[in-house]
Structure 1
Amino acid sequence: MFDQIVKKLSSDAARQTHSDQLLARYFEANLQQIPFETAASIAKKMDLSPMTVGRFLRRIGYNGLDELKNDLKRISRKGGPKSSAWELSGSIEDLRRDQQEGRLVSELIEQQIDVLRGISAMARSDKWDKAVSTITNAEAVFVASFQNIAGIARYFSEQMQYVRGGITFMDGANGTYLEMFGSSARNRLLILIDCRRFATKTRPLAKLAREAGITVLLVTDIHCNWADEDSDISLVLPSMRWRTWDSFLPLAALLDLLVTSCLITLGDDVVERAELVRTLQNTFGDFVRR
């Protein structure tokens, strides 16, 4: 039944309008959080009206949000993918009580738990498997990101260098991205990482890369309304917003799990590469010897 829900959200009926696309991505990325939501709360997050949320739900076969919640609850009881709304009910009640007593950090912890559950569910999807396969099989992998999240993306690319060769982080300082567009590698992959507010370069870079025959894996959030049009694979982050600003935890967690999935897929090749890395670390003296 869980797969049927995901299939409905991925269907053409669920993506007829711009609002539909936003809502479909939101529901698909946040099924673990739906039990805590109302049509009004979802509408507020997406800058839409509750009526628009209701129309979207009817379009995919639900009379309202409660009907979708009931489906998710039945899945949880039958041993399907768990929704933290029921699996962690006791802990969540404690967190809510802490929040009411003024311990606002408990709200952040509660959201973090749900986000990690959502990413865990994503890591069991066909789309995730396709992303991992594409990364591990590409001849050359280029990573690009911008502004404040570029630091997280750079760390991801450096961790990936421990897993496999042919990883290049592009900061765009040369103004051309020539290291990617001028590469002679036949099977090139661009991992493009960007979230709201989006950089002006992100979509043009994705478009030009695809025109050049480069596969584009986009890691983004639910506010990206062109992910389906201008990428070959998109991994959409579960939404999470703290009282002051957007949290970087979902992005860091997703990228960390992506590195781990690639490591597991490549297996013994990673062990050999780790030995090379260790030798080089000892040679240049930047790391304390063990």
Structure 2
Amino acid sequence: MLSSLQERLQTVMVSGSKAEKVLASYMNEAFAELPFETAASIAAKARLSEATVGRFCRSIGFKSFKDLKEHLRGNEIEHPWLLGKRLEDLHTSSNEDRSDLAAGMEMEIAAVIKIYEMCGSVAWERAVERLSTCKRVMVVGFQTERGQAQYFANQLQYLRDGVSLLDLTGGNFAEALLTDEECCVVMFEARRYSRLAKGLAAQANDADIAVTLVTDSFCDWGQELADEVFAIPTLFNQFWDSTAQMSCFSNLLINSVFRALGPNVEDRFDKITRLYGGFTGHVGAADTQIFK
């Protein structure tokens, strides 16, 4: 069940100003970590000013960010870390020079938990249904997220036909936007966002082509243009944002599609395995016949 604060944040994510959407999106996705943040740390992560954070907090009913944190500590939040013995030992054994690694480790664990919590949501089930039944699935990623898109597309191709990676070199995305067949788009993108990403999402939206956007917690245009927005944590106390957890998300979504498609998937697996064995082959598979 959503908390009252989360409901307010999600309202702002749709109707707020650009800066308000960025802050609301980040706070909503980093909800469990908010008691450990400061106005300065949130301002730095969102690339806004502390004064903007303060005004935002007042706009949603709090005197300051400190007041918002006190509300959370008293009412709405639970400790997010689920550390087993080995992880706990690693955490407690970290010396001062490695304290940043310990903090990053906790943030990554919290990110995995958040991604697992997405499973079974209304948006998740809607995306799974579409990816299981839509005639054509176009997958696209921009900048460093191209690798995430290729991974997802290649994995989904093992499960079903009609999956392709969108061509970025043509410059028009006609294979998605002008197709006569039922089509949907899965997009991977994180800040700083490519103009191509927002432009493609807008054109797909205008053409009634469903878009599933896998992005970070700072995207302020996704809610308006995509049918589902999955905001993946990307801040792990490192010098640069990390999209590594998008792979965790991809694996879980692929698994859900696999379950939705049922046992007939095995036949396609076998055929692809034979094709790969015939064209390429695997290490140690001495009996593989290379096609000639």
TM-score, normalised relative to structure 1? 0.84
| Runs of 4+ deviating beyond 6 Å | none
Could you list the runs of 5+ residues in structure 1 that have no partner in the other structure?
77-82
Superposition RMSD in Å: 2.8
Determine if the alignment matches structure 1 residue 67 to structure 2 residue 66. no
Determine if the alignment matches structure 1 residue 143 to structure 2 residue 139. yes
Determine if the alignment matches structure 1 residue 48 to structure 2 residue 44. no
Q: Does the 8 A contact of 1:99 with 1:107 survive in 2?
A: no
**Aligned residue among 265, 270, 277 for 1:270:** 265
* Deviation per residue, 1:64-122 (Å, 9 max, x gap): 2221233334xx4xxxxxx424x449856952651524364333322211211121222
| Match runs of 1:17-32 below 5 Å | 17-32=17-32
Distance 2:191 2:12 in 1: 25
**Aligned residue among 180, 183, 188 for 1:184:** 180
- CA distance 1:276–1:247, shift in 2 (3 Å): same
Distance 2:10 2:196 in 1: 27
Distance 2:195 2:12 in 1: 28
Q: Does the 8 A contact of 1:32 with 1:118 survive in 2?
A: no
* Deviation per residue, 1:175-199 (Å, 9 max, x gap): 22232234221x2101121111211
Distance 1:228 1:111 in 2: 25
Q: 1:80 maps to which residue?
A: none
Distance 1:17 1:235 in 2: 20
- CA distance 1:14–1:229, shift in 2 (3 Å): closer
**How far does residue 205 in structure 1 lie from its aligned partner after superposition?**
1.1
For residue 150 of structure 1, give the secondary structure of its aligned residue in structure 2.
Answer: helix
Could you list the runs of 5+ residues in structure 2 that have no partner in the other structure?
288-292
After TM superposition, the structure 1 stretch with the greater mean CA deviation from structure 2, 54-63 or 233-242, is: 54-63
Q: Does the 8 A contact of 1:39 with 1:65 survive in 2?
A: no
Q: 2:8 maps to which residue?
A: 8
For residue 234 of structure 2, give the secondary structure of its aligned residue in structure 1.
Answer: coil
Residue-pair matches, total: 280
The percent of aligned pairs where both chains have the same amino acid is: 29
- CA distance 1:88–1:8, shift in 2 (3 Å): farther
For residue 33 of structure 1, give the secondary structure of its aligned residue in structure 2.
Answer: helix
- CA distance 1:170–1:124, shift in 2 (3 Å): same
TM-score, normalised relative to structure 2? 0.83
Q: Does the 8 A contact of 2:13 with 2:24 survive in 1?
A: no
Q: Does the 8 A contact of 2:137 with 2:186 survive in 1?
A: yes
Q: 2:290 maps to which residue?
A: none
Q: Does the 8 A contact of 1:14 with 1:60 survive in 2?
A: no
Distance 1:274 1:67 in 2: 52
The residue type paired with residue 130 of structure 1 is R
For residue 144 of structure 1, give the secondary structure of its aligned residue in structure 2.
Answer: strand
For residue 201 of structure 1, give the secondary structure of its aligned residue in structure 2.
Answer: helix
Q: 2:152 maps to which residue?
A: 156
The residue type paired with residue 53 of structure 2 is V
| Match runs of 1:203-222 below 5 Å | 203-222=198-217
For residue 186 of structure 2, give the secondary structure of its aligned residue in structure 1.
Answer: strand
